[in-house]
Amino acid sequence: MTRTISNYHKTSFSAETRYKHVIEHDVYQAGEGPPVVIIQELPGIGSQTFALADEFIDQGFSVYLPHLFGPIGELNVAGNMARVFCMRREFHLFAKNHSSPIVDWLKALCQHIRDSSGVPGVGVIGMCLTGNFALSLIGDDSVLAAVSSQPSMPFMAQSSLHMSDEEIAEVKSGIDKTAPIKAYRFAKDWMSTAEKFASIDATFNTDGKQRVELHTIPGPGHAVLTVDFVNTAGHPTRQALDEVLSYFRQQLVGPIGEATTQ
pLDDT above 80 (res 184): yes
pLDDT above 80 (res 260): no
95 — pLDDT class (breaks 50, 70, 90): very high
pLDDT > 70 in the chain, percent: 97
Q: What is the pLDDT of residues 33-57, one digit of tens each?
A: 999 999 999 999 999 999 999 999 9
- What is the predicted pLDDT for the residue at 257? 56
Residues 6 or more apart in contact with residue 127 via CB below 8 angstroms = 39, 40, 41, 149, 150, 223, 224, 225, 226
Q: What is the pLDDT of residues 120-129, one digit of tens each?
A: 999 999 999 9
Q: What is the pLDDT of residues 103-121, one digit of tens each?
A: 999 999 999 999 999 999 9
- What is the predicted pLDDT for the residue at 1? 72
2 — pLDDT class (breaks 50, 70, 90): confident
Mean pLDDT of the chain: 95
pLDDT above 80 (res 255): no
